[in-house]
Amino acid sequence: MIIVMEINCPEEQVDAVVGKLEQHGLQAHLIRGVKRIVIGAVGDKGSIQTMGIEGMPGVMSVVPIMKPFKLVSREARGENSVVRVGNVDIGGRQIALMAGPCAVETADQMYAAAEAVKSSGAGILRGGAFKPRTSPYSFQGLEEEGLKMMSEAAKKFGLATVTEVIDLQSLDKALKYVDMVQIGARNMQNFRLLQAVGRAGCPVLLKRGLSATVEEWLMAAEYIASEGNAGIVLCERGIRTFEGYTRNTLDLSAVPLVKSLSHLPVVVDPSHATGIRALVGPMSLAAVAAGADGLLVEVHPDPQRALCDGKQSLSPGEFSRVAEELKAVAAAVGRAA
């Protein structure tokens, strides 16, 4: 249920409603929009209907939310949410570019990557320090040492940072160094990790699971939001299908669909979705045309020598060309890149 308050109601009226909800054992989540103030009430809807909320001062209406995902639904917040990561807004008019190597390898590699993506317009440096790999024999990441390398490179070039966390220990370490944490596809339904990230309060990039439905994806976001963290960015990264020519199948229809169901920003990862360097550029343009709020692109100073995902990584020159081409597409759909 959501309680819609009068837009100019005094703060004490809002506090009174929140207090009433909490008194009856419900979670109250305050959502301040441009046109209305909403209090999301999570719990037994029957108890809400019997506690007299509708008659309290400042309350305009009590509205049931029909979707199973309550706080992240479009019903809870009419306008689009904007998530701020460092100095970058994700969900506004500007298309947010997050770019960098799949894995942090060396300090020199990260400095070169940071310089390259910054010069092409990216505002967020990505890099993996904890790498959950299909094979136990593959490179697993440099962990905290890698976080330090990425943080130092990002600071030098004025970039924010995002990295994947895989468990509670990696989350604790990452929070000391990065501006945003990523929940990867394999952990989309790691509910303990989702709750911990929700309690941490930092911006979160939540990737869609390998075979997850849109509803399962949004319910994962609800786990984070239910712990009080509204700074969630959804990432479509392709789903597993019968097609063998690409790494995954990029579901671009999910972008406008999710934006109709949820107020959260949506970005696209064309690198993991296709697994093929030549397809990253076209799918980046298509993602922006479909309404994506940003892109997560793998860029490596020397893709041929990358320890991870070199076949889908762009060189600095290739990324620069894609970033330039994005400007025309963004302008055509009323955005900026």
Alpha helix (H) residue ranges in the chain: 11-23, 45-50, 107-119, 144-157, 168-174, 191-200, 214-225, 254-261, 270-274, 277-289, 316-332
First to last CA, the chain: 37
* pLDDT tens for each residue of the chain, 337 residues long: 889 888 889 999 999 999 999 888 888 888 887 777 888 888 765 566 668 888 899 998 888 888 889 999 998 888 999 999 999 999 999 999 999 999 999 999 999 999 999 999 999 999 999 977 677 767 777 999 999 999 999 999 999 999 999 999 999 999 999 999 999 999 999 999 999 999 999 999 999 999 999 999 999 999 999 999 999 999 999 999 999 999 999 999 999 999 999 999 999 999 999 999 999 999 999 999 999 999 999 999 999 999 999 999 999 999 999 999 999 999 999 999 9
CB 76 within 8 A of CB 38: yes
C-alpha closest to that of 30 among 85, 90, 89, 77:
77
The dihedrals phi and psi of 276, each to the nearest 5 degrees, come to -130, 120
Burial class (CB in 10 A: 0-12, 13-18, 19+), 124: buried
C-alpha closest to that of 8 among 26, 35, 39:
35
CB 255 within 8 A of CB 266: yes
Please give the pLDDT value at position 130.
92
CA distances from 76 to 10, 21, 103, 219 (A): 21, 17, 37, 14
Pairing of strands 88-90, 294-298: unpaired
- Concatenating the DSSP letter of every residue in 147-185 gives HHHHHHHHHHHT-EEEEEE-SHHHHHHHTTT-SEEEE-G
Q: Which two tokens stand for residue 202?
A: 């930092």
In which residue ranges of the chain is CATH 3.20.20.70 found? 83-332
Burial class (CB in 10 A: 0-12, 13-18, 19+), 103: buried
The hierarchical CATH code for the domain 2-63 is 3.30.70.1140
Give the SS3 label for residue 318.
helix
**Looking at the domain covering 83-332, what would its CATH class be?**
alpha beta
Please give the pLDDT value at position 317.
98
214-225 helix and 191-200 helix, angle to the nearest 10 degrees? 40
